[in-house]
Structure 1
Amino acid sequence: MVQFLSQHRCCLQGLESRNDGARYAFIVRWHDPMTEIVWKYQFFYHTFDKSIEMFDIKNHKMFLRRVAYPAISLEQLFIGSTILVYTRQLLIEDYGDDFTRKHLRGLQETTLAMIKPDAIQHTGKILECITSSGFIVKNMRMCQLNITQAETFYQCHKGKPFFSCLTQFIASGPVVAIELVAENALCRWRLLLGPTSSEVARMKAPSSIRAQFGTDCTMNACHGSDSHESARLETLFFFTCTNMGMCAKFINSTLCIIKPHAVMGGCVGAILDRILQKFKVTALEMCNFSRVTAAEFLEVYRGICPDFYAMTHELASGDFLALEVADLCDPGVCPVNAFREFCGPSDPCMARALRPHTLRAEFGINKVKNAVHCTDIPEDGEIEVQHIFKHLWVY
């Protein structure tokens, strides 16, 4: 994963060095939760000193004069991404000028990846392969497709001898759909996948994903879009409807949130892999909160935790990955306490001293950026899971 991100950063850094002092422009949208008004701005990013400025499109005036803002990097600025500027969560809707479109569109191609049922237990390792190869994960969701949905997804293969076997296999267990962003993303993802046959992949591309995690031509770990149009349609298939393939249990489960700083730091694959070794992940989705929805989610800590406002700022600072976690062996066991112990003390410094093998000890930075949120008490496990996976925070 780290290698994947580093390659993507090198590409962007190369672009910045070729355009020293370049200014990139985007059209961004902000939804005011108090007035329900949607504001649009032209957002400018200066590569030379990582400064930003914003122009109010409706009122035709400068909204934010140029100011250094190192929390935002060029690699975060792509169509559909969400960035936090002070307290405003901005959605990037479009490029703001022809220069930006010309120079960044090629670096921000998207494609659809899907982890198949046979490789679900390797999701963390596959995500590490993805991110270490330079891709940015724009969207992600675990789904359980029924046979009709599987047939719709693979309708381009209808009538072929393997169609029935393929669709039954895809409907046999959960899949993880991932929208990827990178330069020449479609071809690069298919190259990373390797040949369709896992056996051939092990001979011709032994480091490919199918060589490492696949079994044969059908159970070959992952799917990749074969054209730009297929990528567009397949992405819409998985991410248009929030209830597509709902697989959350909502019973005997607990919630884990891999926080934005860990997502941006490239730690998702490693954290998820650690979790999958001890627990079962029954639902997974990439989400983002506004400051208001983050505060509502963390309301129980208001007045109790001195870092409450810093915690809400962190949770609203970018995309996070939400997981429904269940006991690995017994689906009837409530995993809240066991998973909380697995995460470790909320202060990573304390965790490193007392319980060095916990998630927060390994991936946490401080009490606010402590890698993961986990449910504290058994009574709240199902409540928090429902809040996220039934999208009760979206309004």
Structure 2
Amino acid sequence: MPGENQEEQSSFIAEWYDTNASLIRRYMFLYYPKDGSIEMFDIKNHRTFLKRTKYDELRSEDLFVGSIITVYARQLRLVDYGDQYTARRLGSKKQKTLGVIKPSTDTKLGKLIDQIYSLGLVITRAKMINLTSDLLQYLSCGPAIALEILGDEAVSAWKKLIELGGANRAQSEESVRTLYGITDVRNNVYGSECAATAARELDVFFPSLGRGPLNTAKCVDCTLCIIKPHAIAEGLAGKILSTIEEMGFNYSALQMFNVERANAEEFLEVYKGVVAEYNSMVMELCSGPCLALELQGKEVQKSFRECCGPSDPCSGPLLDCRNSTCLCLALHSVSQRQM
């Protein structure tokens, strides 16, 4: 714990994959909430890697074990706490839980995400998959959206949200059951019972090793929509999804990615040498998690592009919709280490 004259700081062990050397390099990563500055030390070589520098692109809520942050174009994975003080302060209440929704034709995913973020929770991983009996016996088979939800007391917070407004309870606008028209008999929403159960179930849906269940991408008669990292960070994903749903578009696949720089450069290569903002576009795409959606329908590429309006490649919340070839890259090839 910091002494009387010692400044508050958060300490983490961070890993960076050096593609040139094919090595994982480890650092002590320090964050100073007083002025938003950061500092890094090379653990192996026992030397300063980055002197203390103010870094406005990073927020305290971005820092948790398992998070992937981008610092000066390097993607760092926070794999552990750097000291006991940080572990006690940040890790005592932080939990991950599994949330599974089997949406009806009226998905309302945007409203659901807004509700999750309004509780101070964040979605760290998401994927639309086909449920099978071996994945989750409590829900019937078929397409479903699996979410990894992180936050203080996340297990109980998510359970409380989905249990409000059941068949024998007063209906509540804040209830996921109400949102999806779910009763105690027609139970198409799920949350882990406790932290231990959540850890086991999350490892099935989002395993640390291996790819886990495949997403539901069809890559036929479709277009790709990517909600970019800055929109995710600013809590705009729910509002963007709600707008897409209100426009009448349907998701046939969904997955959250952290895109590495090499993958971002490959994905956006068509813009290289064509638009002046190419480097900014690459930096934005690999600056944090993004959400990829497959939208299906007749002439959906044209209709969705018209709904998006003129694109601003540097700051617009949506990347241009793309064709099914790009969708294959986004949903199957981009950052396979994160799938």
Asked if structure 2 preserves the Cα contact closer than 8 Å seen for 1:198 and 1:214, the reply is no
Counterpart Cα distance in 1 of 2:118 and 2:309 = 27
Output the CA distance in 2 between the equivalents of 1:215 and 1:293: 40
Write out per-residue CA displacement over residues 26-76 of structure 1, whole angstroms, 9 at most, x where no aligned residue: 000001122212110000001111110000001011111111011111100
Alignment match of 1:254 (pick from 213, 223, 232): 223
Equivalent residue, structure 2, for 1:65: 51
> What residue in structure 1 maps to residue 287 of structure 2?
317
2:311 corresponds, among 320, 324, 346, to 346
1:272 aligns with 2:232: no
| C-alpha separation in 2, matches of 1:232 and 1:120 | 30
Instruction: Give unpaired runs (5+ residues) of structure 2.
Output: none
Aligned to 1:11: none
Q: Establish whether residue 242 from structure 1 lines up as the match of residue 237 from structure 2.
A: no
The yes-or-no answer on 1:189 pairing with 2:189 is no
How much does 1:119 deviate? 7.4
- Contact 1:140/1:178, CA 8 A, preserved across alignment: yes
Is the CA contact 2:108–2:179 (under 8 Å) kept in the aligned structure 1? no
Output the amino acid matched with 1:207.
E
Q: Which string of whole-angstrom CA distances, capped at 9 and with x for unpartnered residues, describes residues 123-164 of structure 1?
A: 111111111111111111111123x33xx423xxxxxxxxxx
Q: Tell me the SS of whatever aligns to 2:56.
A: coil
Please tell me the root mean square deviation across aligned C-alpha atoms, in Å: 2.1
Asked if the contact 1:206–1:212 (Cα under 8 Å) also holds between the matched residues in 2, the reply is yes
Q: Describe the shift of the 1:22–1:239 C-alpha distance in structure 2 as closer, same or farther (beyond 3 A).
A: same
TM-score (norm 2): 0.92
Deviations 1:176-210 (A, max 9, x none): 11111111111111111125x7222335x553221
Tell me: CA distance 1:394–1:190, structure 2 relative to 1, closer, same or farther (3 Å). closer
1:214–1:220: 8 Å Cα contact kept in structure 2?
no
Pairing 1:292–2:253 present: no
**2:316 maps to amino acid:** N
Residue 324 of structure 2 aligns with an amino acid whose one-letter code is: E
1:20: how far off? 9.1
Matched, 1:102 2:48: no
The answer on whether the counterparts of 2:215 and 2:254 sit within 8 Å (CA) in structure 1 is no
Whether the aligned pair in 2 keeps the contact of 1:20 and 1:48 (CA below 8 Å) is no
SS at 2:182's partner residue?
Answer: coil
**CA shift in 2, pair 1:174/1:190, >3 Å:** same
Distance 1:185 1:119, change over 3 A: farther
Cα deviation per residue 1:293-325 (whole Å; 9 max; x = unaligned)?
A: 111110000000100001100111000000011
Q: Is the 8 A contact 1:119 1:221 kept in 2?
A: no
* Alignment pair present for 1:337 and 2:315: no
**Cα distance in 2, alignment partners of residues 126 and 227 from structure 1:** 21
Aligned to 2:186: 219
Q: Contact (CA 8 Å) 2:75, 2:260: kept in 1 or not? A: yes
Cα gap change, 1:119 to 1:231, in 2 (>3 Å): farther
Structure 1: which 5+ residue stretches go unaligned? Answer: 1-18, 155-165, 328-332, 348-366
- Out of 369, 374, 378, the residue aligned to residue 315 of structure 2 is 369
Please say if residues 387 and 393 of structure 1, whose CA atoms lie closer than 8 Å, have aligned partners that are also in contact: no
The total of aligned residue pairs comes to: 331
Q: Secondary structure at the match of 2:156?
A: helix
Three-state SS of the structure 2 residue aligned to 1:198 is coil
Write the distance in 1 (CA, Å) between the matches of 2:74 and 2:87: 24
Note the C-alpha offset of 1:392. 5.0
Contact preservation (8 Å) 1:143, 1:246? yes
Distance 1:220 1:153, change over 3 A: closer
In 2: Cα distance, 1:212 partner to 1:375 partner: 28
| SS of corresponding position for 1:336 | helix
Paired residues for 1:112-127 under 5 Å: 112-118=98-104, 121-127=107-113
How far apart in 2 are the matches of 1:264 and 1:326? Answer: 26
* 1:153 match: 136
Q: 2:199 aligns with which of 216, 232, 235?
A: 232
Answer yes or no: is 1:134 the counterpart of 2:120.
yes
Cα distance in 2 between the residues matched to 1:250 and 1:346: 23
Relative to its length, the structure with more strand (as a share) is 2
Match for 2:31 among 34, 39, 45? 45
TM-score normalised by L of structure 1: 0.79
Q: 1:384 aligns with which of 326, 329, 332?
A: 326
- 3-state secondary structure, aligned to 2:66: coil
